[in-house]
Structure 1
Amino acid sequence: MHFPRNFTKITALFLVLVTAVLCLSGCSDKYTVNTSFAMGSVLTAKIFTDEEEKSAELFTRLNSAVQLAENALSNTKEDAEIYNLNKDKYIYGSDYLRNVLMDTVMLCNILNRKVDITIGKVTSLWGFNTETPSLPSEEEIEKHIKNVSVEKILIGTENAKVTIEDDVELDMGAVGKGAACDAVYDELAYSYTPYIITLGGTVAAYMEGPDKGRWTVGIRDPFGTENDLFGTLSLSPLTPKNAVFVSTSGSYEKSFTEDGKTYHHILDTKTGYPVESELVSVTVVAHSGLNADALSTACFAEGLNENSLTWLSSFFAEAVFIFSDKTYYATDGLKDSLKITADGFTLNAYTNEN
Structure 2
Amino acid sequence: MRVLAAMSGGVDSAVAAARAVEAGHDVVGVHLALSRMPGTLRTGSRGCCTIEDSMDAQRAANALGIPYYVWDFSERFKLDVVDDFVAEYTAGRTPNPCMRCNERIKFAALLEKALALGFDAVCTGHYADIRTDASGRRELHRAAAWAKDQSYVLGVLTAEQLAHAMFPLGATPSKQEVRAEAAARGLSVAAKPDSHDICFIPDGDTRGWLADRLGETPGEIVERDGTVVGEHRGAHGYTIGQRKGLAIGRPAADGKPRFVLEIHPKQNRVVVGPREALEVSELAGSRYTWAGAAPEAPHEEFDCDVQIRAHADPVPAVAVVRDGELVLTPREPLGGVAPGQTAVVYVGTRVLGQCTIDRTVSAVPQPAS
The TM-score, its normalising length taken from structure 1, stands at 0.29
Does 1 or 2 have the higher relative contact order (CA < 8 Å, sep 6+)?
1
The TM-score, its normalising length taken from structure 2, stands at 0.28
Structure with the higher helix share, 1 or 2: 1
